[in-house]
Amino acid sequence: MTIPYGKQNLFAKDSAQARPSAFEPGDNAFDFAVPFSSKTQLSWKLTPPCGASTTVLASATSPVCDPASPTFVCAKTCDVQLAAECADQNASRPQCIADCVSSTTYFADYAGCGTEWNAYLGCTAGLPPAAANWDCSFPGFPPQPLSPNCDPELTALYTCLGYY
């Protein structure tokens, strides 16, 4: 379903127009992010065609995300990757997060390397956006840290996986 920006998709504080205007079925957690200060209250009003209007409010007293939640960690990591100067503007934040969460599940539950994977994500999330920090050679995908950035974390992950 598409709900274009305007009276039916109103979010005054979303100056970067990060919120969606096209909606897939189901729960789409962490589909977008809007930074705000603790003194700001956010209000997003969404009125689908032939549907009831919903207003979502967020403020300093709203529940906060669990910083250890895989989805939250992946959202932070993807935001940094997609903000890289050389990032493909067509790369999808929701797809980046879904891929990252899937990888997190694999490395933690099946490979037994969740600690190493999370350290790699933490390093990635701390990189500045300068193109010199990123490998952007895969169009349509988020950039990856360029060596030597995050090499110790990547080496630890490969060692855990038995590649070294």
* DSSP code string of 68-112: T-HHHHHHHHHHHHHHSTT--TT--HHHHHHHHHHHHHIIIIISS
Query: What's the DSSP call for residue 127?
Result: -
pLDDT greater than 80 at residue 113: yes
Tens of pLDDT, residue by residue over 23-58, are 888 777 778 888 888 888 999 999 998 889 999 998
Q: Which of 92, 85, 97 is nearest to 133 (CA)?
A: 85
Q: What average pLDDT score do residues 59-83 get? A: 90
Q: Output the pLDDT for position 96.
A: 92
Q: Measure CA 73 to chain center.
A: 8
pTM of the entire predicted model: 0.78
Q: Output the pLDDT for position 34.
A: 82
